[in-house]
Amino acid sequence: MMILPRAILWSIFLLVYTYAFAQEGLRPEEVMRLSKLQKEIRGTYQIQMLGTRKQPAVPLTLIQQIENNRKENEVSYINYCSDYRIMVLPRNRISSESFIPVKPITIIPLDELD
């Protein structure tokens, strides 16, 4: 009996999620692909809030950009806007046996930026 309500809720979620990203010009299958990629790379990138505590708005299209900017041996950064950047961990670190996923969001005071 619980399967039907879950299925309905999941369908509603997908419709709302798809609609939310329709303004970015994404087809539903692209939304699904990027959503899957987002789950796969979770913990391998970090949104770094630069001197602000406001909630970041990260469009789904940025997920592919994160993966495209991933380097083999060095940390890379995507300067998304003046309020935050995205730190992208390198492949060699992610594939290490001692890899520990990073927190999704961190706040960096402006005076601590490198």
- pLDDT for 75: 97
How high is the mean pLDDT of the chain? 82
User: How confident is the model at residue 72, as a pLDDT?
Assistant: 97
Write the pLDDT tens digit of every residue in 23-46: 467 788 888 898 899 999 999 999
DSSP string covering 57-81, please? ---THHHHHHHHT--SSS-EEEEEE
The parts of the chain modelled with pLDDT lower than 50 are 1, 21-23
Q: Could you give the residue ranges of the DSSP H alpha helices within the chain?
A: 3-22, 28-41, 61-68, 91-94
Is residue 65 a contact partner of residue 58, using CB atoms and an 8 Å limit?
no
CA 100 remoteness from chain centre? 17
